[in-house]
């Protein structure tokens, strides 16, 4: 499995049988390198969305139309995407699992909101925010937490899914900060590898992963902090 960080919460996951984008926020993301745009869409099979905010839905509509990739998201968000011309959708909701051939995706809780603001300033709720647990036949289990705070039922995510890799938001203000994210990883999970995200993109969130890395000091979990465009192999 190759896991490439594309800035903010956007990741490209490549396995032997699938090429997956999670939360492909490219346009308007000051941390996204434009040189990665073509490679990110090449051979794409799936787009997975944790929730409906613009910095996570991102370029989904354009990329889905370009590639024909299957889009996996909560029901409300899928219906919204349908009104924007996306028909190759797999809707789900909290607690549900979708079998996608090369892997399965389970929607788990996240403590966050999920909406789009229209040009006239109206907020449209797009279902619940989620984390996503991806199970593969011959690859590590991966848990993208989405945007969330710590919550005690993370213990159930560990018990039910035993994820090997955690993608963890650490930027503070809109998600848990680095110290709390480190506490979540150490108290509730047994990750082999933790990859921090949702930092370094906008000036109002943390610029570096330093607080998270410090909080994970002494843990058995490997903390991987790739540069944007960098790959973690698992």
User: Which of these CATH numbers, 3.60.15.10, 3.30.300.30, 3.10.20.740, 3.40.50.300, describes 2-233?
Assistant: 3.60.15.10
Residue with tokens 């370009």: 66
User: Residue 123 and residue 119: Cα distance in Å, rounded?
Assistant: 10
pLDDT in tens, 82-100: 999 999 999 999 999 999 9
Tokens linked to 10:
């956007």
pLDDT in tens, 177-215: 999 999 999 999 999 999 999 999 999 999 999 999 999
DSSP strands (E only) in the chain: 2-5, 11-14, 19-22, 46-48, 70-74, 89-92, 97-99, 103-109, 115-117, 123-125, 130-136, 142-144, 165-169, 193-197, 222-223, 231-233
Q: What is the pLDDT of residue 118?
A: 80
pLDDT in tens, 61-85: 999 999 999 999 999 999 999 999 9
User: Residue 18 and residue 225: Cα distance in Å, rounded?
Assistant: 23
Confidence of residue 121 (pLDDT cuts 50, 70, 90): confident
Task: Give the count of beta carbons closer than 10 Å to the beta carbon of residue 33.
Answer: 13
Confidence of residue 173 (pLDDT cuts 50, 70, 90): very high
User: Residue 15 and residue 139: Cα distance in Å, rounded?
Assistant: 8
């Amino acid at each position: 499995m190759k896991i490439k960080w594309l800035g903010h919460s956007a990741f490209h996951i490549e396995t032997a049988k699938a090429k997956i984008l999670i939360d492909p926020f490219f346009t308007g993301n000051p941390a996204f390198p434009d040189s990665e745009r073509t490679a990110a869409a090449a051979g794409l099979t799936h787009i997975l969305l944790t929730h409906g905010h613009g910095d996570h839905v991102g370029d989904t509509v354009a990329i889905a139309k370009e590639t024909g990739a299957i889009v996996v998201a909560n029901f409300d968000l899928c219906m919204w995407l349908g009104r924007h011309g996306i028909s190759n959708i797999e809707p789900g909701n909290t607690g549900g699992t979708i079998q996608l051939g090369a892997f399965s995706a389970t929607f788990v809780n996240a403590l966050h909101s999920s909406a789009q603001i229209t040009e006239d300033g109206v907020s449209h709720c797009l279902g619940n925010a989620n984390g996503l647990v991806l199970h593969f036949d011959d690859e590590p289990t991966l848990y993208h937490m989405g945007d969330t705070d710590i919550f005690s039922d993370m213990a159930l995510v560990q018990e039910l899914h035993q994820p090997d890799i955690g993608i963890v938001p650490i930027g503070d203000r809109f998600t848990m900060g680095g110290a709390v994210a480190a506490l979540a990883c150490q108290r509730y999970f047994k990750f082999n590898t933790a990859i921090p995200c949702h930092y370094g993109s906008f000036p109002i969130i943390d610029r570096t992963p330093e607080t998270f890395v410090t909080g994970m000091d002494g843990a058995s979990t490997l903390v991987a902090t790739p540069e944007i465009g960098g790959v973690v192999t698992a």
